[in-house]
Amino acid sequence: MTPQAKFKNHKAYLGDLIGGSLMLRESQTIAELLLKSPTQDEWHDAIVNRNLLQKRSDASAKRNAATIKKRLAGLSDTYLEKLAFGGTELATQLMFAATLINSPMLADFMRNVVIDAKRVFREFIELKDWESFWEGSIRVYPELGSMSDTSTYKIAQVAFKLLADAGYIDSTRNKKLQNIFLLPEVRSLLAEMDCEDVIAAMEI
């Protein structure tokens, strides 16, 4: 199914999908940091000087922190608190939901491909499912077609890694679909945010 043109440009539709996997531990750390409303200097001190994310290089720390910050942008303190201090299942679902809010493309893929595959009792999804979806997206956002092969490949790999991290497929290798039950707390929080489209993308 081809997505509808609801976003001002392809960058808004794609979001920061290329930024990497779910990074749950790091995301909880960043959520806790954001609750303190750090200044630019305090942010730099936490990420680089104190190396809160425990990365081997400053560049990696800054890149991961920036990706997570973009994915959490605009979310309430209540959301950040539940992400930062919640258990693994709750935090995983909240971070995946935040990623879907940031990347409407991935949310469309979930609704139009992953959820539909479950409905017709498919056991697996495949790379060609993403490639077909990507081609449909190009028809709506032609600028996606001008991206390099390296970037489009990485985006596909990250998309499946996110699905694996969130538990929707058992691994990026065989991409076997798994059942996920959306926690009532997550559903309630997303409903309060008028994110019914994200609920529909996550609920199998």
Buried b (16+ CB within 10 A) or exposed e, 57-96: eeeebbebbebbbbbbeebeeebbebbbebeeebbbbbbb
Would you say residue 127 lies in a domain? yes
Q: Which two tokens stand for residue 84?
A: 């930062």
Cα–Cα distance for residue pair 137/1, rounded to 1 Å: 9
CA distances in angstroms from 73 to 13, 141, 145, 163, listed in the order given: 15, 24, 27, 21
Residue 158 structural domain:
17-202
Would you say residue 192 lies in a domain? yes
pLDDT of residue 4: 53
Count how many domains the chain has: 1
Which pTM does this prediction carry? Answer: 0.94
- Longest Cα–Cα distance in the chain: 52
186-191: list long-range contacts, CB under 8 Å, 24+ apart: 186/90, 186/93, 186/94, 186/97, 189/78, 189/79, 189/82, 189/94, 190/97
pLDDT of residue 107: 97
pLDDT of residue 204: 73
CATH code of the domain covering residue 171: 1.10.3540.10
Q: Which two tokens stand for residue 18?
A: 């290329």
| Mean pLDDT, 10 residues at a time, the chain of 204 residues | 65 93 98 98 98 96 97 97 98 98 97 93 96 96 95 96 97 95 97 96 89
Would you say residue 96 lies in a domain? yes
Would you say residue 128 lies in a domain? yes
